[in-house]
Structure 1
């Protein structure tokens, strides 16, 4: 049997992402498996689709994205929060592609909400409000990917430096409170109410939002050298520890420092994407190339013959115990498909083959 090409696997992964159905009873107020809904997993999927379009210039992909947003706008959007903000990132790019003023107006409305109405923690951090939960006083590492990237993009589009500066503030504030100084990894969350890191979980996917998000953030904005240096040294510190924690097969455990927790594919794919792109862009030394390539091949093995990415954990709230992370069910998810997509496309840049 002939080995499929990377391009063929990419097509299969995209096709499956569009038609995922939940094999488990969903616990989130808005379903996070089906691409028919507007939530953060769909936002991550849309972003990967757009970056794939930008790489290939295939107009049918752009048209599918436009149709998705138009359909959602007709249906009506959900209440604004950190997670439902995620699909807005790709809409900023679609505005640039299409010049549609209704897209820009919607983006302005939602970023205005972030800046003026979204609840804040002490020191002005974006409180990780999600659908059905206020999470008062809490900072989560997820917020950087779900909302802060959108803020940065809007600053560039509407030429408002205050938005870019706000994105910088949020990155630095989250680093300040979420960094585990012993390892260079990131805790899932911090609460100002009690001033602790909950279960002190060094959760894989939460960490991977930084790895994958930072390399895209640096494509979006021009940062002062001092700020860029802080963000990149944090990345290097994280990746150095990740290299030591990588499993023999190239995966990472859902609790990075706990080998009794299961290995998890979406985080591994996001780490592979971030590491490989960071090396290509000169942000990381080539000493980490083997780590990235090993992860790339490990994720490829988790993609079945139909293009479904296996070994992906369901949406994960803030765990009060480490066991809660181990108990999160595994099922196909849009962000598993999308992070695999980004990783595969980045692999083409490095001429990786299956």
Structure 2
């Protein structure tokens, strides 16, 4: 069977079918390919990251998609409580879970409910406040974002002892020959750098900022397209294209970068000589991403081929909404230019919340644009949604959409 035929079969339209508890599939929507289905099953059965049921039930009718803080809080609580109830038996220390934890920490701060912080404290104790592996990569470091934020509240040195030991070892190892850039994939810019800036905030040791300033811009020089103002996922995607011939820029991958930028800037001091360079890249990406927002307020899995990826992709959309809202709230982005983009993004996300608290239309784990069912929900996407809510609720002067 030729590759052309395989592609045609894997991209069969399922319009006319009904998914999501009687909701019609979007016209032109594609089924996951066989390889994507393997990933879906791995996420569900092996890692318990989430699932894509055929019948998830009805959508929620008790939520308001406005940015009124009380309305945002209701949506955040509904989704957070559903995800914690679903996932708590499986809580892990991999990157997928770590992203969820960043969102739960944001919910704890926004909702002022001690149960969320208590849940995260229990996770830290479960893993003895340790990183996933010795001399970890960025994915394995990511859980320390949660550790460090708990430390900033409890000031118990045990909480960050292993993180500090591991990061110091990585700095010491820089003198040894290396074969590749440590943060060689764009996702790493969310997973790793925010740990380093938080450790700087805790210790006031500039070596942690120096490490970021070296490594971030190595990654940027490799993966950032100066014309498109978007990141390729990794170097293997530099020359890949979408069905329409455009460059392949993955929504969630660029969401990781924008989320990583704001979480890094959050704890980066104003006197860091490189700070202005991060801000400039953030503003470039914000302008580009805002221009790619679809009429429903969301973004597609392949940013430059929205017609091919019919369903919105809500993990990337949530990360964009979070980053743009953070930029407005912290004075780095124009409220006049970006608040409406954020409001439309949030409203679009809320419309995908089901009655039980599931939030759908999230791509399974992967490295490039893919297909999924409307019900698809994953721990990392929930984390992104909670982060978005934590910033959206702080926006001022809401206006009617």
Q: TM-score range by the shorter chain?
A: 0.7 to 0.9
Alignment partner, residue 109 of structure 1: 165
Tell me, in whole angstroms, the C-alpha distance in 2 between the residues paired with 1:181 and 1:77.
34
Shift of 1:86: 0.7
* Selected match of 2:349 from 299, 304, 314: 299
Q: TM-score, normalised by structure 1?
A: 0.81
- Counterparts in 2 of 1:335 and 1:74: CA distance versus 1, 3 Å: closer
Provide the residue aligned with 1:126 in structure 2. Answer: 182
TM-score relative to the length of structure 2: 0.72
How large is the RMSD of aligned CA atoms in angstroms?
2.9
Does residue 1:140 correspond to 2:185, yes or no? yes
Q: Specify which of 292, 302, 322 is matched with residue 273 of structure 1.
A: 322
Match of 2:194 in 1: 149
Residue in 1 aligned with 2:11?
A: none
C-alpha offsets along residues 271-291 of structure 1, whole Å, 9 cap, x if unaligned? 011111101211011212221
CA displacement at 1:141 relative to structure 2: 0.9
Cα 1:244/1:86, change in 2 over 3 Å: same
* Structure 2 unmatched ranges of 5 or more: 1-60, 65-70, 241-246
Residue 170 (structure 1) aligned with residue 254 (structure 2): no
What is the CA distance between 1:82 and its match in structure 2? 2.2
Matching residue within 172, 187, 197 for 2:238: 197
State the 1:254 CA deviation: 0.8
Distance change in 2, residues 1:247/1:34 (3 Å): farther
Unaligned runs of 5+ in 1: 22-32, 128-138, 320-324
Q: Secondary structure at the match of 2:360?
A: coil
- C-alpha change, 1:240 and 1:101, in structure 2 (3 Å) is closer
Query: Which of structures 1 and 2 has the bigger CA Rg?
Result: 2
Equivalents in 1 of 2:172, 2:302: separation in Å? 35
Partner of 1:326: 370
Paired residues, number: 321
Which of these residues, 108, 113, 132, is aligned with residue 58 of structure 1? 113
Matched, 1:96 2:152: yes
Match of 1:345 in 2: 390
Secondary structure, aligned partner of 2:192: helix
CA 1:182–1:112 in 2, change beyond 3 Å: closer, same or farther?
same
Q: Tell me if 1:206 matches 2:262.
A: no
Question: Are the aligned partners of 2:131 and 2:140 in contact in 1 as well (CA < 8 Å)?
Answer: no
Q: Distance in 1 between matches of 2:177 and 2:298?
A: 35
Q: What is the CA–CA distance in structure 1 between the aligned matches of 2:133 and 2:89, rounded to whole Å? A: 15
Kindly indicate whether the alpha-carbon contact (under 8 Å) linking 1:17 and 1:338 is maintained by their aligned counterparts in 2: no
1:282 counterpart (331, 337, 342): 331
Give the 3-state SS of the residue equivalent to 1:253 in structure 2.
Answer: coil
In the alignment, the residues of structure 2 paired with residue 197 and residue 224 of structure 1 have an alpha-carbon distance, to the nearest angstrom, of 34
Q: What is the alpha-carbon distance in structure 1 between the residues aligned to residue 287 and residue 177 of structure 2?
A: 32
CA contact (8 A) 2:129 2:158 kept: no
The residue that corresponds to 2:92 in the other structure is 37
The structure, 1 or 2, with the larger RCO (C-alpha pairs under 8 Å, 6+ apart) is 2
